[in-house]
Amino acid sequence: MGGAVGGAVGGAVSLPWLMRELQGNILRAYGERYRVVRHLVLTVDDAAAARLALGLMVDGDRSTPDVTSAERPPREAGYRWCLNVGFTFAGLAAVGVPASSLDTFPPEFTKGMVARAARLGDVGDSAPGRWVGGLADTQRVHLVVTVHGWTRADVDQICEEVMAAARGRAFSPISDDVFDGEVLYDPVTGRRIVHFGYADGISQPRFLGVHDPSAAPDQLPLAPVGVVLLGYPSAIPSVNWNVPQPDVLGRNGTFNAFRVLGQDVAGFDDFLARVEGDHGVDRELTAAKLCGRWRSGVPLSLAPTAAEAEAFHEDRHLNEFDYVDGDPDGVVCPIGAHIRRTNPRGAHIVQRSSNRSRALIRRGIPYGPRWDPDDAATRDAPRGLLGNFFCASLAAQFEAMQYDWVNLGFQDPRITGTNDPMIGANDPATSTFSWPRQGTEPLVLRGFKRFVVTRGGAYTFLPSLPALRWIAGQTG
């Protein structure tokens, strides 16, 4: 497997030490108190000034913009804002990382997301030529600085200070477009949701030495930190990903697929209505079958009917299920449903060693106005998700999931050749989705369009805090 070496790397993990060195929001989420976010997409104007600005971001002084570490949960520390810094490959070069170090990064990162567009399903309306905010300009997209805050005013203040660092000579925005997001809540249940109406933030990998397995029961085992951090054993036996050199630069860093994902909520709503009209299937059942969860977040595997989902009140058990024994043929949760495609859990799949090796940490916040079917003025307004997908290997985790599972269905021959019904690169001429039904023929849905389109993105590397200090200390 390209970019991997056998043998143990890094030894045992010392959690207090590790958390002091990590950027925040990777192993532990910032939490719902940080309701607003802005992603500053920047180019480096002056390398020396940029290094000076970066040095100030890791000096421990929170009276100025400072990268948030994972040492203390920010909500417990009382921080009103949190800050992360990610570099593209061009960005590392622009701030003065030596060529000898740049040569040690994996090829998918060095080439960048634009060059990997076809593999990701970023074609047609999702192709880089349609991207917004200058994100397709790979030579100028150097940094993505992400600021989470309690309020929009908190975010505005810190972003202004970032841009003013080093007397304003360090960075410039790529365009006038802003990538602002804000958490959405269901007005009835109070749950955090995405624009499609589904509860969000339910399923994430949990890590050995980080999470308490009894806090939220899950039939998936705890994952090694090497799923996301460089320098530790991965989820693939005897495989560790190469650490960019020198060691201080690569160790405890993580790669991120930053994605601006537009969501066609009106089109999705119209599709649910069409299925109801054509087949007599309640739209909420169709929505649950497409996703694998009811919009409340309750999985079909634990609540096959709407009545059972309504009666389900144990949120801590929302991930306590598997497919391997209870539903191997997808009668309850279709094999092609979104959550089953992207996380087959213990199910028997063709790529038998891949069930858990493609785990990702997903952090995302919606952007755009809330969907209101009765408000014609905002029906077609841009809305979607600002997503960050953290992993140790972009090729073996993020890209493999997008290519093999989301857009080809390689995990099971019964869905091979089809795309994920919710986030896949669907075309009305060929799209299909089916689920078995007891006592009758499977229901097969055809002719639906793509509901999620890519509006931009970038592959970035989030270095550890010692690595940021090393970068800031480069000369020349």
pTM for this one? Answer: 0.94
Q: Is residue 231 located within the same domain as residue 305?
A: no
| 44-94 tens-digit pLDDT | 999 999 999 999 999 999 999 999 999 988 988 899 999 999 999 999 999
- Per-position DSSP letters for 38-59, written without gaps between them: EEEEEEES-HHHHHHHHHHTTS
Q: Which amino acid is located at 393 in the chain?
A: S
Domain contains 5: no
- Would 181 be classed as within a structural domain? yes
115/249 same-domain check = yes
Domain range enclosing 102:
17-260+460-472
Q: Identify whether residues 419 and 342 lie together within a single domain.
A: yes
Classify residue 337: in a domain, yes or no: yes
309-321 confidence digits (pLDDT tens): 999 988 888 998 9
Specify if 127 maps to a domain.
yes
Q: Which of 162-176, 223-237, 323-337 reaches the highest mean pLDDT?
A: 162-176
8 in a domain, yes or no? no
**Whole-number pLDDT of residue 6:** 33
pLDDT of residue 250: 98
Residues 59, 182, single domain; the answer is: yes
- Amino acid 60: pLDDT: 93
- Closest C-alpha to 94, from 146, 143, 53: 143
Average pLDDT of the chain is 92
b/e per residue 193-215 (b: at least 16 CB within 10 A): bbbbbbbbbbbbbbbeebbeeee
Whether residue 172 sits in one domain with residue 292: no
- Residue 116's pLDDT is 98
9 located within any domain: no
The larger pLDDT score, comparing residue 13 to residue 1, is at: 13
- Do both 447 and 464 map to the same domain? no
Residues 449 and 464 in one domain: no
Q: Which residues of 300-327 are buried (b: 16+ CB within 10 A; e: fewer)?
A: bbbbbeeeebeebeeeeebbebbbeeeb
Is 77 among the domain residues? Answer: yes
Better-scored residue on pLDDT, 265 or 10: 265
219 lies in the same domain as 292: no
Structural domains in the chain (count): 2
Residues 107 and 185 in one domain: yes
Residues 247 and 298 in one domain: no
Regarding whether 338 and 191 lie in a shared domain, the answer is: no
Is the bond leading into 246 cis (omega within 30 degrees of zero)?
yes
Distance CA 297, CA 203 (A): 10
Q: Is position 108 within any domain? A: yes
373-401, pLDDT tens digit by residue? 888 888 889 999 999 999 999 999 999 99
Query: Residue for token digits 């202004």?
Result: 160
> What is the residue whose two structure tokens read 């560790």?
240
Q: In angstroms, rounded to a whole number, what is the distance separating the alpha carbons of residues 23 and 85?
A: 8
Split at pLDDT 50, 70, 90, the class of 326 is confident
List pLDDT tens digits, range 96-105. Answer: 999 999 999 9
Integer Cα distance of 92 and 217 in angstroms = 40
Same domain, 310 and 428: yes
351: pLDDT strictly greater than 80:
no
